[in-house]
Structure 1
Amino acid sequence: MSTMKLTLLTDFYELTMMQGYFKCGMHQKVVFDAFYRRNPDDGGYAICAGLDQVIDYVKRLTFSKEDIDYLRSLNTFDEDFLQYLADFHFSGDIYAIPEGTVIFPREPLVKVVAPIMEAQLMETAILNIINHQCLIATKAARVCYAAKGDGIMEFGLRRAQGPDAGTYGARAAVIGGCIGTSNVLTGQLFDVPVLGTHAHSWIMSFPDEYTAFKKYAEYYPDNCVLLVDTYDTLRSGVPNAIRVFTEMKAKGWKPKKYGIRLDSGDLAYLTKKARKMLDDAGFADASIAASSDLDEYVIQSLKSQGACIDSWGVGTNLITSKNTPAFGGVYKLAAIEGPDGSLIPKIKLSENTDKITNPGNKQVWRIYDRQYHKIRADLISMDDEVFDPEQDLIIFDPKETWKKTKIKAGTYDLRPLLVPIFKNGECVYESPSVLEIRDICTREKDSLWDETKRFVNPHEMYVDLSDKLYKIKADLLEELSMKALQSE
């Protein structure tokens, strides 16, 4: 859910283009695709997130009197166009890949089919929302993969780039696999678990560490995780924690959760020593949590060193996706309505083949290996195409067009990824809860081959074109190339 109406969350040129279309009398239907070109962190996949906020944005997409007055003050827009905006509402269709789904470069994540002015206006907000939440959900998925089943707690709010990034970023992190967040507002808005115990300031506020631990244990006996690195982890922190646990145990204490947390130092060395101290004292079921500038690479390294850590608090590097701070999604025109009402495919050319777009009104299909139930490839087709898994399927590489692959009949299954979200301006999709989306994401990640999930040189998943789409694209490239030659 959102607390803010985002109509004017748009780039100025979207509005100037809208007025230009309005003056030209252009009201025809178009198709725009939102997609991205490269996985974050040079990974093998990404996670789709942000659709729920897009839905909320579209539902609220109207211009208030204050919006119109502000636009009038810019001395750019004519009164007849401003009147059009005053009556504006979305009337088109939107298709999207559901949140939590594994996604790959170049495939449409959101497809808008609407009158040109409506579709143009939505570009900035859709990209702003999808780019951010896909980025953080993907980072969370990578961090969770490194932890190999240990709980990952999202702890990044104070380092996020503002309240919205912290709140929606925490939501995306839970979608990607985190067990919860320290962000209480995210917990309230999206009904996800909130987590956390105390900071060093709690310890420092008391005469000594033991007293601080004892008071905390008295007040929160069922969630007693003590931060042991304020002064000296092994000489003071862990011994004082053990002392408090021993005293509480003697009183019949049976906590739901207890243990220690470390936020500094050599986490591999310290946690192994702390684990032995806890075990020797009879607290083998005490958990050890760690924080301290963690990311997937640090966690992977600590795991390989045998660090005795049961859960991980990940902050800055997760909520900002520090290594790859932007997702790079784009929003491109793919088709425009012709005089007869049909959609005419459009293509954007570039000297960089990665930036040549795929034309037309499209669907995305996920191809699964029938034997192993893993993703074999994704297929981008025209929207009206159907495929029979009991027939051979030929798919074409979109860049190296001489490459094609035959998938034999009976060895694969298909699932369409783009589902209806809005029809004729009305929302027809019911969003799952965030925790339900996290479960979807877990199943989606299980459908990836391990070679795609590895961090170093992951296998690049095929995102290929159908025969029909390949031919349409090739014909458009040839047509535009001939026009360029004739103009020389």
Structure 2
Amino acid sequence: MSQVTTTDLYEVTMALSYLREDMRAPATFSLFVRDLPPGRGFLVAAGLEPALDHLSRFRVGRSDVEEFATALRRPPEDLAPLHGLSFDGEVRAVPEGRLVFAGEPLLEVTAPLPQAQLVETYLLSLVCHQTAVASKAARCVLAGAGRPLVDFSLRRTHGPEAGGQAARVCALVGFAGTSNVAAARRYGIPAAGTMAHSFVEAFDSEEQAFRAFARTHPGPVTFLVDTYDTDRGVVTAARVFTDLGLGPGCGIRLDSGDLGALAHRARAALDAAGLRDVRIIASGGLDEYGVDRLVREGAPIDAYAVGTKVGTAADAPYLDAAYKLVEYDGRPVMKLSPAKLTAPGPKQVFRGPGCRDVIGLANEERPEGADPLLRTVMRGGLRTDPPDLLSAARARFEADVAALPEGARRIEDPVPPVPVASTRLTALTTVVRHRIERRTGGGRTVPG
């Protein structure tokens, strides 16, 4: 099935109406997050690369028209104007890995109105999910304080596609590996994994299970030691490591119980057996809050595997995001709905030292000492540059985090920077609002 039809029905009805009314002038839509979720001091821009892939191959084919017609219960000839529609517009966007805050556009699309409208749903889905997960994963990286993290989320994400996206954005913010084999190959991420409790249970004893696993996998191995009694599992693992001459690069994994206390006892047992190079890996319902607690308590854990809560961004699984028309045919427009006011005109974000951001108009001069965040990434429906690399996005993320105020980096009760509007944007907003209020009778609005 074509990805073109992965859209909300009203995108189709609006696009068809625009075509029927010959409304094909350029329109600019801005995709932004109104407010940061609770517990977030920043967001990490993500999802742009797959969004550009989608736009570059977007074309409404005959089968798409037939599917639209079926959904609308109308004959296909009624929707014929949509046939052949492709994306030949411009995209300006914040590169992946950069930090963004409330109200700042992650991307802006300028294209003939029917095109820009029809791609809305897919872009929102891609950018919002990946930005939400990347932001959660980034906080895990901060909590880990330099300790490696591995993505274990695939089996708990909201579908295999979401699992692949999670693996990618976790790598983008600095995760060391993923359990997702397909994502590892596709994105060049190191694959990582150990064993399940079922493997241990299938043998008559833990020791048999560990020895069998080591025979099959002669390289560094990690034994899961908490299937029965964790302390005994550690002793058994130590005996197998010693008997087989295994050590550096090998590890044990703790997946349940009081991970801090268990890690201290495991470290002592491994050290007593002369296995100071055997690592301790912790997993089991962890996210940034659990990792932060263990790190602050001084738990001797060398690496963390995080899954469910990170791959689903469990405490903030969605973003209050919008894709709003800000200009049509050279005319700035805005929305005046209560609590959902938007600002008119194509925009730029100017970042000063310490993430002091100014949201201004796209065509205004940047403030002294500030750099523009949005750059042109697509023109005429074609990418302006080769596909971005995860390593480049990770470098941007690390640079932005280093410049982030300490209050925004906190795991508990972070304080996000608040962007301000430029003088020109504020003035334009006032002018456009007054124009709309005069036209609609004094600005009276209907709730809802």
Specify if TM > 0.5: yes
2:215 corresponds to: 218
Q: CA–CA distance in 2 between the matches of 1:123 and 1:18?
A: 11
TM superposition shift of 1:254: 6.0
| Correspondence 1:278 to 2:270 | yes
Residues 175-254 of structure 1: pairs in structure 2 closer than 5 A = 175-234=172-231, 236-249=232-245, 253=246
TM superposition shift of 1:9: 1.1
User: Does the 8 Å CA contact 1:19/1:77 hold for their aligned counterparts?
Assistant: no
| Correspondence 1:360 to 2:342 | no
SS of residue matched to 1:42: coil
1:18 corresponds to: 15
Amino acid at match of 1:150: R
TM superposition shift of 1:430: 2.1
TM superposition shift of 1:331: 0.2
TM superposition shift of 1:316: 0.5
User: Does the 8 Å CA contact 1:37/1:328 hold for their aligned counterparts?
Assistant: yes
Amino acid at match of 1:305: E
- Measured against aligned partners, the alpha-carbon deviations of 1:170-203 in whole angstroms (never above 9, x if no partner) come to 1112212211110111112211111101111121
| Correspondence 1:426 to 2:422 | no
97, 113, 118: which one aligns with 2:115:
118
Q: Which runs of 5+ in 2 are unaligned?
A: none
Residues 15-54 of structure 1: pairs in structure 2 closer than 5 A = 15-54=12-51
User: Does the 8 Å CA contact 1:32/1:113 hold for their aligned counterparts?
Assistant: yes
TM superposition shift of 1:476: 2.1
70, 74, 92: which one aligns with 1:73:
70
Q: Which moved more, 1:57-66 or 1:155-164?
A: 57-66
TM superposition shift of 1:263: 0.6
- Measured against aligned partners, the alpha-carbon deviations of 1:69-123 in whole angstroms (never above 9, x if no partner) come to 2223345567666333222111211111111111111111110011100000011
| Correspondence 1:61 to 2:58 | yes
Q: Which moved more, 1:43-52 or 1:219-228?
A: 219-228
1:304 corresponds to: 296
| Correspondence 1:87 to 2:43 | no
Q: CA–CA distance in 2 between the matches of 1:78 and 1:91?
A: 28
- Measured against aligned partners, the alpha-carbon deviations of 1:199-255 in whole angstroms (never above 9, x if no partner) come to 111211222111211222233233211111111111x20111110111122xxx564
Q: Give the 3 Å change call, closer, same or farther, for CA 275–333 of structure 1 in structure 2.
A: same
- Measured against aligned partners, the alpha-carbon deviations of 1:406-441 in whole angstroms (never above 9, x if no partner) come to xxxxxxx22111111211222213222223322322
Q: Give the 3 Å change call, closer, same or farther, for CA 357–78 of structure 1 in structure 2.
A: farther
Q: CA–CA distance in 2 between the matches of 1:132 and 1:24?
A: 34
Q: Give the 3 Å change call, closer, same or farther, for CA 203–333 of structure 1 in structure 2.
A: same
Q: CA–CA distance in 1 between the matches of 2:439 and 2:259?
A: 64
User: Does the 8 Å CA contact 1:31/1:336 hold for their aligned counterparts?
Assistant: yes
User: Does the 8 Å CA contact 2:66/2:76 hold for their aligned counterparts?
Assistant: no
328, 333, 348: which one aligns with 2:335:
348
TM superposition shift of 1:487: 8.1
Q: Give the 3 Å change call, closer, same or farther, for CA 483–25 of structure 1 in structure 2.
A: closer
SS of residue matched to 1:195: coil
| Correspondence 1:381 to 2:360 | yes
User: Does the 8 Å CA contact 1:171/1:186 hold for their aligned counterparts?
Assistant: yes
User: Does the 8 Å CA contact 2:93/2:108 hold for their aligned counterparts?
Assistant: yes
User: Does the 8 Å CA contact 1:452/1:458 hold for their aligned counterparts?
Assistant: yes
Q: CA–CA distance in 1 between the matches of 2:182 and 2:443?
A: 59
1:458 corresponds to: 414
Q: Give the 3 Å change call, closer, same or farther, for CA 487–154 of structure 1 in structure 2.
A: closer
SS of residue matched to 2:29: strand
Q: CA–CA distance in 1 between the matches of 2:172 and 2:38?
A: 18
Q: CA–CA distance in 1 between the matches of 2:442 and 2:133?
A: 47
SS of residue matched to 1:31: strand
SS of residue matched to 1:125: helix
User: Does the 8 Å CA contact 1:420/1:429 hold for their aligned counterparts?
Assistant: no
User: Does the 8 Å CA contact 2:2/2:64 hold for their aligned counterparts?
Assistant: no
Q: Give the 3 Å change call, closer, same or farther, for CA 152–64 of structure 1 in structure 2.
A: same
328, 332, 335: which one aligns with 2:324:
332
TM superposition shift of 1:486: 4.7
TM superposition shift of 1:16: 0.4
Q: CA–CA distance in 1 between the matches of 2:162 and 2:71?
A: 29
1:408 corresponds to: none
Identity rate, percent: 35
SS of residue matched to 1:7: helix
SS of residue matched to 2:315: coil
Amino acid at match of 1:471: A
User: Does the 8 Å CA contact 1:40/1:46 hold for their aligned counterparts?
Assistant: no
Q: Give the 3 Å change call, closer, same or farther, for CA 154–194 of structure 1 in structure 2.
A: same
Q: Which moved more, 1:114-123 or 1:279-288?
A: 279-288
Q: CA RMSD in A?
A: 1.9
- Measured against aligned partners, the alpha-carbon deviations of 1:346-379 in whole angstroms (never above 9, x if no partner) come to 1111222xx21111021111112xxxxx32x111
1:260 corresponds to: 252
- Measured against aligned partners, the alpha-carbon deviations of 1:230-283 in whole angstroms (never above 9, x if no partner) come to 11111x20111110111122xxx564x111101111111111011111111111
Amino acid at match of 2:384: V
Could you state the TM-score of these two structures normalised by the residue count of structure 1?
Answer: 0.87
User: Does the 8 Å CA contact 1:225/1:260 hold for their aligned counterparts?
Assistant: yes
User: Does the 8 Å CA contact 1:264/1:291 hold for their aligned counterparts?
Assistant: yes
Q: CA–CA distance in 1 between the matches of 2:435 and 2:310?
A: 46
Q: CA–CA distance in 2 between the matches of 1:76 and 1:117?
A: 21
- Measured against aligned partners, the alpha-carbon deviations of 1:40-71 in whole angstroms (never above 9, x if no partner) come to 34311000110111011112211222222222
SS of residue matched to 1:40: coil
Could you state the TM-score of these two structures normalised by the residue count of structure 2?
Answer: 0.94
Q: CA–CA distance in 1 between the matches of 2:396 and 2:156?
A: 28
SS of residue matched to 2:313: coil
Q: Which runs of 5+ in 1 are unaligned?
A: 338-342, 369-373, 390-412
User: Does the 8 Å CA contact 2:98/2:400 hold for their aligned counterparts?
Assistant: yes
Q: CA–CA distance in 2 between the matches of 1:315 and 1:467?
A: 45
2:427 corresponds to: 471
Q: CA–CA distance in 2 between the matches of 1:18 and 1:76?
A: 17
Q: Give the 3 Å change call, closer, same or farther, for CA 21–485 of structure 1 in structure 2.
A: closer
